[in-house]
Chains A and B, each alone.
Chain A
């Protein structure tokens, strides 16, 4: 589709049209300075003048805490799917999964139940392992009682964060195992980025191939041209969205594209922060950083994990069984951080990364080495700058890679 424009006052009307098919989220200001993605309402306008949201959009697809299933009875368990959860209804592929044995649409096909059913009564052989989810739909056996939620449409995602989402999509699809829940959420979403015309002091996407403009990883890329937005529509999903509100959009005129070109040229040199990503990556990859340096830097790490949690590409998690009743539990997936001492501690007490320096080294190797670039197609930093704002010890990607460049010859 050729580039389009939409007057800024028409943006709410466009987003309102999308609410027919999507749960629409847009940046909204809360308090003085924080901007978060939230659902539209009439009280708070969509924020167009902001650096970035506090949390990366990964939280919308990969929540910090999520129930995988309920457990009734530890020793003679029956496992139940959560009745409602973050983004339920977006994960439609369970019955197609070759791994699943007990979640299929009709339990009656299974000669003996294996224990993860949503509808018990159809199973010809009762094993006592069935769920009691009587409210579940007989037609599929898959849905919880709540109707399927709509996929997400996110307006105003920054370029760096869209790059991060593409990275996570690749990660969760990789190594021969697809995380179907997270992938379904990501793939169903309508991604409408808002390119940056005013980078913040922590931003360094320009050093990380993470922005400020993108050529992929979005459905529609909006650029702020003052009184109107330029819309670069790249996918069928994006075209359908614009098509559903076609009266609000006009084909971009040549002066719109000229204005855009001038803005691109201006923004590319507007970044205050410069990060020596390439030099640092090379030294990390080749093991050219003295151990003493890692130990020196690690003294400033507070083990808080903040850098991991705010990172658009960090994805480590742990899995725990949380007690919810006398003999019932939720198995939960919870974000974890490689900088935590317990991250690699084994049951025996042996911990291959007991030393903080080893953990710091590990984090940077994982995010910024050729070895991972080979696997993931790019390094793991998109230059959003959240770790710059978060780390009290100056151990963010931008600062530390620049220090590696400066201090490790």
Chain B
């Protein structure tokens, strides 16, 4: 054969699909034969094949402590995701991975954790949030700030409701535009950060969301006095191989797929071609 083993996907059947928002779904992929099923780390990603269209990278959206499935939450955006959104339970996709580094959950032990997610940026953070909830004694205060465009654009609505009820974390939500159903905050997610008081040196902050949000969130984090190395995000780039070969995801001398995707702000500043 000609296919190097690096590029051969496992086949994984879609066991269940959950509608998150009008354009976003969570896929529960049966992965009985995938030996890393519960052995990946929060922050890692997979290359998912929609055969006949292609392959694209998606973060693993659930904590490895939680699910017997591989969970990916995917917004309908490009060719692969548009086709995937026509799939039903029983259809089969390809999976390669897990790839990339992970959130520094070890270094975060004993610290307060602050999560700021925007829209479809919550899924990668959710893998770590649930990991922390399953190792709750290892961490101090856990605060999650989540912003979405509208109430309908919130992902994981059932889980958000659970988090609101839970005493294990503090969840504050906001939407850019409210509606009749929405009694919560209205405004961009950075407004929730303004005026916060945090124990900056004892806090690690994790953020993921659209580029414009990240820019303002980073600025707010720095204004709160967080050391750059305590500010963590996950970079996204177009990528094909996931294994440091195809060249698409290079930033500076880093291959985001193997050296990342998780970086702290100190590392990002030192990338010669800062994203």
Given the contacts A329-B52, A347-B78, A347-B80, A336 and B94 also touching, CB distance less than 8 Å:
no
Docked CA distance A178–B8 (Å): 13
A175 to chain B, nearest CB (A): 4
B244 interface neighbour in A69, A79, A174, A366, Cβ under 8 Å: A174
* B250 sits at the interface (CB 8 A): yes
* B122 sits at the interface (CB 8 A): no
* A362 sits at the interface (CB 8 A): yes
Given the contacts A144-B1, A347-B77, A177 and B244 also touching, CB distance less than 8 Å:
yes
Residues of A close to B80: CB separation below 8 A: 347
| In contact, B51 and A329 (Cβ under 8 angstroms) | yes
Docked CA distance A374–B253 (Å): 9
Closest to A372 in B: B253
Q: Which of A150-167 contact B (CB under 8 A)?
A: none
Q: Mark B238-259, 1 if CB is under 8 A from A, else 0.
A: 1011011111101111010011
| A67, A73, A347 interface centre (most CB from chain B within 10 Å) | A347
| In contact, B11 and A318 (Cβ under 8 angstroms) | no
| In contact, A343 and B248 (Cβ under 8 angstroms) | yes
Q: Which of A250-285 contact B (CB under 8 A)?
A: none
A94 interface neighbour in B5, B79, B92, Cβ under 8 Å: B5
Given the contacts A69-B1, A100-B5, A346-B238, A336 and B51 also touching, CB distance less than 8 Å:
no
Docked CA distance A142–B2 (Å): 11
B253 interface neighbour in A74, A93, A180, A369, Cβ under 8 Å: A369
Residues of B close to A181: CB separation below 8 A: 2-4
| In contact, A321 and B51 (Cβ under 8 angstroms) | yes
* A2 sits at the interface (CB 8 A): no
Q: Which of A287-324 contact B (CB under 8 A)?
A: 287, 315-321, 323
A205 to chain B, nearest CB (A): 24
Given the contacts A81-B1, A103-B8, A319 and B252 also touching, CB distance less than 8 Å:
no
What's the interface size class on A, roughly?
Answer: 35 or more
| In contact, A142 and B1 (Cβ under 8 angstroms) | yes
Closest to B247 in A: A316
Residues of A close to B52: CB separation below 8 A: 71, 74, 321, 323, 327, 329
Given the contacts A346-B236, A369-B272, A375-B253, A97 and B5 also touching, CB distance less than 8 Å:
yes
B6 interface neighbour in A71, A77, A87, A179, Cβ under 8 Å: A179
| In contact, A175 and B255 (Cβ under 8 angstroms) | yes
Residues of A close to B55: CB separation below 8 A: 319
B147 to chain A, nearest CB (A): 18
* A115 sits at the interface (CB 8 A): yes
Docked CA distance A73–B50 (Å): 11
Docked CA distance A69–B1 (Å): 8
| In contact, B6 and A177 (Cβ under 8 angstroms) | yes
Q: Which of B29-44 contact A (CB under 8 A)?
A: 32-33, 35
| In contact, B51 and A91 (Cβ under 8 angstroms) | no
Residues of B close to A317: CB separation below 8 A: 240-241, 245-247
Closest to A361 in B: B273
CB contacts between A and B, total, < 8 Å = 189
* B237 sits at the interface (CB 8 A): yes
Docked CA distance A343–B252 (Å): 15
Docked CA distance A85–B55 (Å): 22
Closest to A328 in B: B52
* A38 sits at the interface (CB 8 A): no
Residues of A close to B237: CB separation below 8 A: 344, 346, 352
* B105 sits at the interface (CB 8 A): no
Given the contacts A347-B80, A348-B77, A88 and B246 also touching, CB distance less than 8 Å:
no
Docked CA distance A181–B241 (Å): 15
Residues of B close to A77: CB separation below 8 A: 11, 51, 92, 94
A366 to chain B, nearest CB (A): 7
| B1, B8, B80, B255 interface centre (most CB from chain A within 10 Å) | B1
Q: Which of A74-94 contact B (CB under 8 A)?
A: 74-77, 79, 81-82, 85-88, 91, 93-94
Q: Mark A364-381, 1 if CB is under 8 A from B, else 0.
A: 011001011011000000
| In contact, B246 and A318 (Cβ under 8 angstroms) | yes
Docked CA distance A22–B41 (Å): 45
Given the contacts A66-B2, A369-B272, A319 and B253 also touching, CB distance less than 8 Å:
no
Docked CA distance A182–B35 (Å): 26
B275 to chain A, nearest CB (A): 6
B28 to chain A, nearest CB (A): 17
Residues of A close to B149: CB separation below 8 A: none
* A107 sits at the interface (CB 8 A): no
* A235 sits at the interface (CB 8 A): no
| In contact, A366 and B250 (Cβ under 8 angstroms) | yes
Q: Which of B7-25 contact A (CB under 8 A)?
A: 7-11
**A-B pairs with beta carbons under 8 Å apart, 24 shown:** A68-B3, A75-B92, A79-B8, A82-B3, A94-B4, A97-B5, A101-B35, A103-B1, A144-B1, A172-B245, A175-B259, A177-B243, A177-B258, A180-B6, A319-B7, A321-B54, A329-B52, A331-B3, A331-B51, A336-B247, A338-B250, A347-B56, A365-B273, A369-B253
| Residues on B facing A (Cβ under 8 Å) | 1-11, 32-33, 35, 50-56, 77-81, 87, 91-92, 94, 211, 236-238, 240-241, 243-248, 250-253, 255, 258-259, 272-273, 275
Of all A-B residue pairs in the complex, the 10 with the closest CB atoms, nearest first, are: A347-B78, A81-B1, A316-B247, A175-B244, A74-B52, A371-B253, A181-B4, A177-B243, A97-B5, A85-B2
